[in-house]
Amino acid sequence: MRKLLTIGLIGLLILSISGCGKETEKNKDESAAKVETKQVIEAFGTVKSTEVKNITIDFLTVVTKVNVVEGQSVKKGDSLVSLDSQNYLTQIRNRELELQTLQRELSGLSRDYEVNKLSLDKNTDPDIMKYINDQKHAEDLLNIALGDLTAREALYNAGALSLSELNEFKKTVNEKKKSVEDAVFSEETTRKKIQQEMDRLKTSIEQKSPQITSKELDLKAMQEKMNKSYFNGNDVIADVPNGVVTEISCVQGDIIADDEGKKLLSVLNKDSVVIEADVAEEFIKDVRIGAEVIINPQADKARTYNGKVLFIAEKAVLKNNETIIPVRISIENLDSFLLPEFNVDVKIDFESKKQS
């Protein structure tokens, strides 16, 4: 029984294999009915950096040394240009001192204003306190004199005091009244003087405050001119991890004036590049976003890079007497060989299916 079962299993396996073989041949025959032809659009392109840092300076400085040459590869932190900005730093320091002086003056004015205001509100000014006390003392004396006057008038009415004596005492009462009035007048005059001083202080504060604001803004603007990622002390440095220097437009000894906005050089980011290709207008209809692209640099056509179409311009341009449409292509396997401004040949895939 064991042998028969084994033989039976072998037989079934043979039949199964035979059936599968026929099915495979059938699938091949069916797939042969369709023929896929892979076509490409050939174009010429250039490697372009998508991140270009223009190094500009708009403050007073002198170029003491240019530390790089055109096309030099640089890393983050490498010194590109050395500067002497001492004159500009002196200007900043002078502006800081001017601001500090104004701030101290404003602080003094505000303090004096509050002191004067308190002296009015709380009667703490020494002169005001003196005149208030003088007034109180004079009023006390006046009240006593008025009491005496009443008594003397009674004596006069009783015939015990002469009219001349009564009138003489009235003069004394009037003097006491004048003493009160003088004390009141002196207090009011002092208050007016303090109020006038407060008005003067307030006007000065109102004048100083915008001056300080203006100085603060000017100082901040001056400081921000040096507060850039590519400044490190007296050096202009690279602030990209992997860059290349281009368009150097300064030499040793150049003097850069305030607000001139002179460009010293540019740094291309080699890690952020694409292909900018020119596709002839008769072929653009077959180019699609996302289409796969083969890239071969003319510097070494044996090298192959892969990419995809990222962007198709919505406007044609005339270039070398030919109408072309700019196309931007990614580089998916970028390496250190492929450099900005390299010329490349690109082959953009498109597929068409035909029935046989």
pLDDT digits (tens, 9 = 90+) for 332-348: 999 999 999 999 999 99
Select from 214, 206, 200, 203 the least CA-distant residue to 98. 214
Residue 21 in this model has a pLDDT that exceeds 90: no
Least confident of 97-101, 211-215, 262-266, 351-355: 351-355
Give the Å distances, CA to CA, from 350 to 30, 238, 269, 277.
24, 41, 31, 16
pLDDT digits (tens, 9 = 90+) for 146-160: 999 999 999 999 989
Q: pLDDT category, 220, cuts 50, 70, 90?
A: very high
Residues 308 and 292: beta-carbon distance below 8 Å: yes
pLDDT digits (tens, 9 = 90+) for 43-80: 999 999 999 999 999 999 999 999 999 999 999 999 99
Residues 80 and 267: beta-carbon distance below 8 Å: yes
Residues 63 and 83: beta-carbon distance below 8 Å: yes
Q: Indicate yes or no: pTM above 0.75.
A: no
**Residue 56: left if φ>0, alpha if ψ -120 to 50, beta else—which one?**
beta
Tokens of 42: 């050939």
The confidence score (pLDDT) of residue 350 equals: 86
